[in-house]
Amino acid sequence: MVRASKLLFIFNFNNMSQFIKKILLFPLPLLLLFFIPIWTFLNFDPFKILKKYNEYNNSIVSYNEDFIATERFLNNKGKFNSFILGSSRAGCGFDGNDWKLKLNKSDEVYSFVASTESIYGMRGKLRLLDKENVPINNLLLIIDSDLTLGKTVNSKGHLYIKHPRVSDESRYKFITEYLKDYIFTGFFIRYLDYKLFKTKRDYMIGFLNFDSLSTDSVYVPFNVTQKEHKILLDVHAYYDERKNIFYNRPDRELYSEQKINLQCLEILKEIKCILEKNNTNYKIIISPLYDQKKINDADLKTLKYIFTSENVFDFSGKNNITNDIHNYYEESHYRKHVGNYILSLIYETKNQNVINMH
């Protein structure tokens, strides 16, 4: 009887051991699936945000322009005293070298622009400059009437979230946003596939960059050199290929919705205080967008009230810039000669009505 009990105990123990092993092994694939993306994220640093880099080269992984611009500034902050703030439109349309020609010889320009830049991000950058005791002798603040004034909080998504030094939010929150997109969009699968096999596949398009730029070359943000080359090579072919992009605009002038709310108003006032504190020579420019929507009247009046009329230059709506599709690379970004033309009007023309083109 005792022996039978022992045998039963051993049998039950063996069954229990096998059951426990199965329980422990069951989540192993899930744990590996979770471990692999985290390990590769930390080890390979695909977005170049975890380690310190002296410079950034071209990459198959799209950069967060705000992060790159801020890191490059922090690496060279003693060199600059004049800044361009704006979105990718300012990045494409306003060349720092063109602006430098309008300033004093001792002035050094830094293009501190970011994709889908917001008034929140502009204030954050000016706060950073002020905290670092960087002189702000000159400033171009480029406002997009459809975008800039309506965003008064930090952006979402790994491509747009602000650098922690700009947002004053935690580095943990910043990195978590990247890790979330890396894992849950399936980005890590495409990234590891290409890293292992160096083969371009259709499912990678939209996640990885496959252009002709060498990864040994220094990354240039908002690089329109190739587009300008294509236009100069055959202007008719360039715009014929993109005729479906350049949609017809309404004959009558339309106005943007009012964007400035109480939160935006407080941000604008803080920006003005920083500029006054630094005795900054500043210009507020309303972008000439292809949609030809005029900035909201109330928003324009507010900008002129805060920054004074002589510092606000409105190129929105229907005018000789926006009427011509040849002033645009596509339906969103205006060309570099447009920015240079605007600078010439602002710095060389005394008649405010001529400058504002309305």
Q: Any bridge partners for residue 93, and if so which? A: none
How far, in Å, CA of 149 to CA of 245, rounded? Answer: 26
Task: For residue range 6-64, list pLDDT tens digits in order.
Answer: 444 444 445 544 544 444 444 555 555 667 888 999 999 999 999 999 999 999 999 99
Q: Taking Cα atoms as reference points, which of 206, 79, 204, 85 lies closest to residue 148?
A: 85
Those residues whose C-beta lies under 8 Å from the C-beta of residue 304, and which sit 6 or more positions away, are 312
Q: What are the tokens at 194? A: 């290409």
> Residue 139: which H helix or E strand, with range?
strand 138-143
pLDDT, position 26: 46
DSSP string, 158-193: TTTSPPHHHH---HHHHHHHHHHHHHHTSHHHHHHH
Q: Indicate whether 170 pLDDT > 70.
A: yes
For 29-45, write each residue's pLDDT tens digit: 555 566 788 899 999 99
Q: What pLDDT, on a 0 to 100 scale, did the predictor assign at position 11? A: 42
| Strand pairing report for 82-85 and 138-143 | parallel
pLDDT digits (tens, 9 = 90+) for 196-248: 999 999 999 889 998 756 666 899 999 999 999 999 999 999 999 999 999 99
The alpha-carbon radius of gyration of the chain (Å, integer) is 27
Residue 75 φ/ψ, nearest 5 degrees: -75, -20
pLDDT of residue 272: 98
More confident residue, 350 or 287: 287
The residue among 357 and 272 whose pLDDT is bigger is 272
For 16, the token pair is 């229990």
